[in-house]
């Protein structure tokens, strides 16, 4: 079986996914391409940049940054933007 981005590990739920607060694509376009491999790996695995989210929210956000996408949970938008700002 081919493993894709949306596949879940055995015994886990596909309803919850791990998203990058600052997407790897967004980071790449905003300078991560100039980082060394270890720096990019550290950023991709930084626990401050990882967030458990619903599958739909993760899909809706995709590669967008904070200027182009806000969480559907209005009460979480300030925290989300603060997290995004700290990571940049």
Q: Say how far apart CA 1 and CA 20 lie, in whole Å.
A: 25
Q: Say how far apart CA 67 and CA 10 lie, in whole Å.
A: 35
Q: Say how far apart CA 43 and CA 32 lie, in whole Å.
A: 9
Segment-wise mean pLDDT, segments of 10 residues, the chain, 88 residues: 52 81 91 97 94 83 76 69 60
Q: Say how far apart CA 49 and CA 87 lie, in whole Å.
A: 7
**H-only helix segments in 10-87:** 24-29, 37-44, 55-61, 77-87
Query: In this predicted structure, what is the pLDDT of residue 4?
Result: 46
pTM of full prediction above 0.75: no
DSSP label of 74: G
Query: In this predicted structure, what is the pLDDT of residue 14?
Result: 76
């Amino acid at each position: 079986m081919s493993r894709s981005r949306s596949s879940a590990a055995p015994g886990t739920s596909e309803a919850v996914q791990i998203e990058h607060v600052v997407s790897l694509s967004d980071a790449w376009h905003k300078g991560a391409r100039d980082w060394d491999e270890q720096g990019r790996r550290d950023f991709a695995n930084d626990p401050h940049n990882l967030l458990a989210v619903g599958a739909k929210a993760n899909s809706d956000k995709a590669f967008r940054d904070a200027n182009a996408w806000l969480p559907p949970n209005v009460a979480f938008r300030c925290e989300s933007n603060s997290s995004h700002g700290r990571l940049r």
